[in-house]
Amino acid sequence: MSQLSADKLSVAFAGLKALSDVDLTITPGQITGLIGPNGAGKTTLVNVLTGFQTPTGGAVSLNTASAKLNLSGLKPHEIRRRGIARTFQGGRLFRDLAVIDNLEVTGVGLGQSRSKARAEAAAMLDWIGIGALQNRIAGTLPYTDERRVAIGRALIGKPAYILLDEPAAGMSGPEAADLAALIRRIAAEIGCGVLLIEHNVGLVLSLCDHIVVLDSGVVIETGDPASIRASEKVRHAYMGTAAETNLPVLEVLA
């Protein structure tokens, strides 16, 4: 079975450690959660895994039945061509292009012909359930649809892994529930290994097979949802932020 792995990853900015000896494994068909308080290093870790940040220590590797490929030092587009896709917190759609063009351009960038890229883009929008939006200008979309388009764009080319950075940010309860159903389908029907990075801890606990908890750049806990919910280390990490925004998190963990 293939795996995407972070091995002892460290990142330092001007002497300040953003990540320290972080281990993480993502397996196709499974949903892994990555949680932690603000400033824990979650987005930095995703940036390293996808080539947007160079680690100062450790390595990122893609392990298959036949080989182990070191991804450290590869550019983002090179990592994407190896089947590792991501979304961004801000969506980052081409706002002046139609929705279908946002997906088509990804297929072309991956080496597909224009006709094949457009056909896959249309099929992907239908699969997600937003085919009716294909001719809408991306910059006119409501927030929730913008996030779904970004996920569809990341799924072009059938990646083996998809890393979702705060996909539920700003969503209502029903909108987050719809997102959860889509993420389950991505793992079950496409077979992607999913890394879900979220402040919505309830969403992570309900979706994920395995959860990794970061605090100040260090992994403080790993395990299934039940063990994370019961962890005093996790509770202390959130309580230590002393922020009102973390009160719902503590209620979920209670």
Per-residue pLDDT at 14 exceeds 50: yes
Q: Is the distance from CB of 124 to CB of 146 less than 8 angstroms? A: no
pLDDT digits (tens, 9 = 90+) for 138-148: 999 998 899 99
Question: For residue 1, what pLDDT is reported?
Answer: 67
Domain membership flag for residue 31: no
Domain membership flag for residue 29: no
**Residue 126 confidence class, pLDDT cut points 50, 70, 90:** very high
The total number of structural domains in the chain stands at 3
Domain membership flag for residue 30: no
Per-residue pLDDT at 244 exceeds 50: no
**Residue 245 confidence class, pLDDT cut points 50, 70, 90:** very low
Question: For residue 124, what pLDDT is reported?
Answer: 98
What residues are paired with 125 via a beta bridge? none
Whether 107 and 125 share a structural domain:
yes
Whether 64 and 130 share a structural domain:
no
Whether 238 and 214 share a structural domain:
yes
Q: Which of 220, 253, 227, 193 is nearest to 1 (CA)?
A: 193
Whether 93 and 181 share a structural domain:
yes
Whether 150 and 230 share a structural domain:
no
Residue recorded with tokens 């764009």: 153
pLDDT digits (tens, 9 = 90+) for 37-91: 988 999 999 999 999 999 999 999 998 877 888 998 899 999 999 999 999 987 7
Per-residue pLDDT at 242 exceeds 90: no
pTM over 0.85: yes
User: CATH code at 180?
Assistant: 3.40.50.300
Q: Which of 216, 204, 201 is nearest to 31 (CA)?
A: 204
Q: Is the distance from CB of 197 to CB of 166 less than 8 angstroms? A: yes
CA dihedral 49, 54, 58, 59 (to 10 degrees): 50
Domain membership flag for residue 19: yes
CA distance 191 to 97: 29
Q: Which of 243, 79, 145 is nearest to 134 (CA)?
A: 145
Domain membership flag for residue 154: yes
Domain membership flag for residue 113: yes
Per-residue pLDDT at 173 exceeds 60: yes
Whether 137 and 214 share a structural domain:
no
- Residue 94's domain spans which residues? 86-199
Whether 132 and 192 share a structural domain:
yes
Q: Span 197-201, mean pLDDT?
A: 91
Percent of the residues in the chain that have a pLDDT greater than 90, as a whole number:
80
Whether 107 and 127 share a structural domain:
yes
Q: Span 154-168, mean pLDDT?
A: 96
